[in-house]
Every structure is written in C-alpha cells, then in structure tokens.
Structure 1
Amino acid sequence: MNAKPVTLGASDKLTFLLSLVPFLMDHDRVSVTAVADHFGVTPERVRDAVNLIAMSGVPGETRQYLHGDLFDIQWDEFETNDNIVLTHLVAIDDSPRFSAREAAALIAGLQYLSALPENGDRDAIATLMAKLTRSSTGAPSQLAVSRTDADVAIAVIQAAVRAGTQVEFDYLNSRGTAQHRCVDPLRIESVDSDWYLRGWCHLREAMRTFRLDRMSNLRSTVVPADSHDDGVLLPDTLFEGSADDLTVTIELPAAALELLADYGPVPHGPAADGQLSRAEVRVSHFHGLKRLVAGLAGVVTVVDPGLARQTVADWAAAGAARYETSAAAQTEQADGAPR
C-alpha cells in the first residue's frame, strides 16, 4: 500500500528541490512516478518541480540568463513518456571531478574488490561504479579485471562460508605430496599475488593454511562445518610452523626483516660485514625458499645449510639457462632471416 503523499511547506519545498537535483543526477533516466514514490510526493508536485528546475540557473558574465546558463532536460521524454533526463547542469558541474583515467582506475579497483569474499554487497559496489562513470569528466576506458582460477576458487569458498558447509579438494603441498582434504573454511587472505585459505583441516585436526593455486577439484559440500567456538583460535600469522619444518639461515638488510614477518624470522645478529643481518626462518621444504628468494631478489641470501643454498642455486641456474637458450634461438633466427 502506497504511503499518502505529504503536504509540503515553503521550507519543505526548497528542501525537496535541493534533494531532487542530486537524485536526478544519480539516475540517467527516471520516471516521474518513481521520483514521486521515492520522495513521498504526488507526481504533479514532481512535474512542477522539474519545470521550475528547467527555468533555474546561474547568470553568466552578461548578468543575463542565456540558454547555457540554465538547467535543461529532454523535453520530448518528459512530455511524451513522463521520464526525466537531465541534459545540462549549471554550477554543480563546476565542482572538482575525476578525470576519465582516474575513474577508470577506481572502477577497475572496485571490480577487483567485488570479487573478494568479505565484500558481499556487490549492489552497492555496482552503484558506486555507475556513479563514477557518470560523474567523471569523460567516458572512462572500458577496463575489466580478468577472472582467474583464484577468483573461481574464492567464489566456491565464499559460497561455502555463507552456507556454513565444508569444502573438499585435492591439495599438492610444498613437498610435492598430494592428499585429499576436507576443511571448514574460516578466512581467505592474500600475500602479494597469492591467495590462501585458512581453516580447520579434518585430516590434520588442526588449523592449516592452503594456497589456492595448489588446490584441484575444489567443491563445496553439504556437510555442515563445525562451529569452532570451543577455544580454537585462528593464528594471527599466516604461516604456522610444525615439528617437521627445516631451519634455514639467511642474510638480508635489517630493515627488510619486516618483509618476512609471516615467516617468523628469528634475528641472529649482524653478518660478518656488519652491513647485513642474519636470521633463521623455518620452511617445510628447501624448495619453498625459491618463492622467498624470488620475491626479494637481491635482498635475501641463503647462507645455511649447504643443501638449501644448493637448491636455490640450482633453481636460479636453471632459470638463467632458459633465458640463454631463448636468446640463442632468437639470434639464430635473426641470422637466418633474409636481409
């Protein structure tokens, strides 16, 4: 049942007019009836207000109201179809606005955020993107954040969290061992470009962290997840050590220790040259050092044990060899090309 339209006093009429213009700006095309329902007034009151707005403006340098100094609407739409479409704004358009490039960057960021599980109100994000598109100084470039395998996995896990059910998947750990896991999903976090699921692993009967790109055959089940309200806490750090972990000594600038906070580095004191610091980190396998070193190339040096150094050195040499092979192939192709 529609609410009875209210009677507007002089101050209410002014408030209505001041509220109507921003509302129309936020809607490219809106019917008189929709506006009346939104503000709780009669359609006749809306039509009178629109006619008044169309005769309002700010005088130009000549101190006269010329056509460009007044608001304008699509009169055919208004008179024939009872729709309101603003086509020209005055004064309001003088406020600072995002450039087309700035709006495109913000829209791309919002598209990315809308894929994250903690951002469930996608309608609000879509509305904000539409406002950015309309209010920029030019049409933003058509950008889209590509959907990756991680996005698909996040969507599956998010659905399981909403439903309060377990997820199951095949997981390849850092040692290269594949196992089937059933997990109560609790949180999804990212480190750089990598995404991780944190939850209660029923195989290990403990909290575990899983990299999404090592999962396969991920699916949501109908098995209810446990409540975990009995004192089981989710650790603050992303990576938790275990009794099977290996200890590695590394060298790096003291200021860079904070970059390894998730690895829980234990400072060892200054290195021999006095300019670097040594620290111990724990990894599940020496191959796990590859990502650490690659992420901080030129910053972290593996010192001990020798097998850890050799593992990283072999990996780096294999990568360099691939570049050399590729460069040699390009040179041969160039030498054999017709001149």
Structure 2
Amino acid sequence: MSVRLSSRLARLLNMVPYFIANPGISAAEAAGELGVTTKQLMDDLNQLWMCGLPGYGPGDLIDLSFSEESIEVTFSAGIDRPLRLTSTEATALLVALRSILEMPGMVDPTAAQGAMAKIESAAGAAAVRNGVKATDTATNAPRSEDPSAATVRSALARSRAVRLVYYSASRDAVSERVVDPIRIVLVDNHSYLQAWCRQAEGVRLFRFDRIDEAVELDERSNPPADALEQDSALDLFSDDPALPLARLKVEGSHGWVLDQYPMDQRAVHADGSIEVTMRFATLDWMTRLVLGFGSGITVLGPAELVAAVRDRAGAALASYGAV
C-alpha cells in the first residue's frame, strides 16, 4: 500500500467518529481541524459513501448528509462501536505495533507500549476465560525514544520549523539545514520526515536514523502550498542532472543490486549482464561502492571513475603482496 493511500485510510477511519462527535460542523472548519483542504475533505466524504459492511447495499454502507455548510453522519455502519478482536487479530496487531515501535519517529513509544499492554491484558483475560493458560508477554522496560525523533515529532505536531544535522548517504557528507516539516512517512521499511528543505528549495525525505541532531525553532513551519501535494517527493531517489553519471555493467548474479540502488537499466546483454547508469555525488564514494561488489560490477565510464577504481584496486592488491 502506498504512503498516500495508507494515510488516507487512517484519515477515513477517524472521520466517522469525528463527525459523530461534531454534528453539523462546516466543511471549512472540519478541514482545518483535520489538516486537509476542503476539496480533499469533500472527496473523502464521497469515498465514505462506498464504505461499510459486507452486503454493500442500503443499510450496510456508511451514510452521511453533507454540504460545505454542514456535515452529519446518519448511519455509522457500526464504526462507532468498540472493536472486539479475535486472538488472531490481537496477535497480528501486537506484531504490527512492535514493528512500528522499531521505526524511529513513527509513533510515541509511550502510547504504543500502553496500547500493547492493554491488548496483551485483554488477550490474556480472554485466554483464561477460554481455559487456555495465558502467557505473560507484557512489555518490560519502557522504550526510550531517540531525542532527535522526539524533537521532529514535536515540531511536526506544533507546526514548527526544524534545524537538522543530517548525514546524506548518497553524498557521503553531513550537512546542516533548516526544514519545514510536512509529514512522517514509511517507505521501504524505513521512516522518513518529509519536509520542505529551505536550502534545496524543494521537498525532501530525511531518514530518521540519519538525523544526527534536531532542534525545534521558534518559527512556524511554512512549506509552500504546492509542496503538500507533491507525491513525487515520496520517491527516494531523483535524477539530478547536475551530478556526474556513472555507466556500469552489472553481472547477472548481481541483478538484485538494481533494487537496492538508484540505477536506470539501459540494456540487457546475451550473457545476462545488465548495463545501467547511476548518478553519484563524489568520486571517492562511488569508487568505494563499486569496489565493494568485486567482479559483480564493472565500470564503463566516465574515464575518471574507471581510473579511480583501477588505482584503488591496484593499491589494495599491492598491500596484499607486501604482507
């Protein structure tokens, strides 16, 4: 599921109890409190009309009466009732909570651990009632949150700008920059801060485990309006024509590398090898990357990268010969 779809699903699930608690609220006021545009809110309300219980007919689907002046839920399809989990569902939820707890910045650890304790307690009580010996799986020592992740979450909640000290793996460099947080997202099993970078003047993703330091500033976060709708900013790698372009031949046995690095496939040869291109920021970083794959990757160009790889490999071999 894409980040955009998963965030919309969470919003849709919250909207029904929200409108039940705030009957007759205007679209503009609700959009402001929910953090979306009025157009997005109206699109969500139209989507809710197609959600509900199996059967998917009258009396099954969520029903609403809404306009830009007033919104009211006329049938909740049971979404306002307390959820009862089966043991399988409870176990799956616990696994999911433990997994998300490992992702810095995604959730308040105290809140997640509190939810886990309640689920575990309820699951244990149900097991006793069913004659099954309960297993004590309660969380032990409270998990402390990384200070940088906590600062970023706080700044996002308070709509404050943040000064980051950030390590960029693609450039192999640490930089300091001021950003306007937009949201926290999960991409390829890593948590990121999506933010407007004032230095780059564009939307960027900052991986939480590469944020060395974060300081919340006493100024409001103010990303450009169009930055909030940039789905392309969720791409981890973007082609920067200002960076040099490496031409590489990847052996067939190393085809998996294309899934791990921002490479563009150009040709597939008869022997199964793949010709690709890849942008890089520094010659030293790219040289070390290529050498790490041994004979699995051969550099075709540019000439300075070919020379750098040849010289570094020669020096390494010479060191072995001197032993």
Q: TM-score, normalized by length of structure 2?
A: 0.50
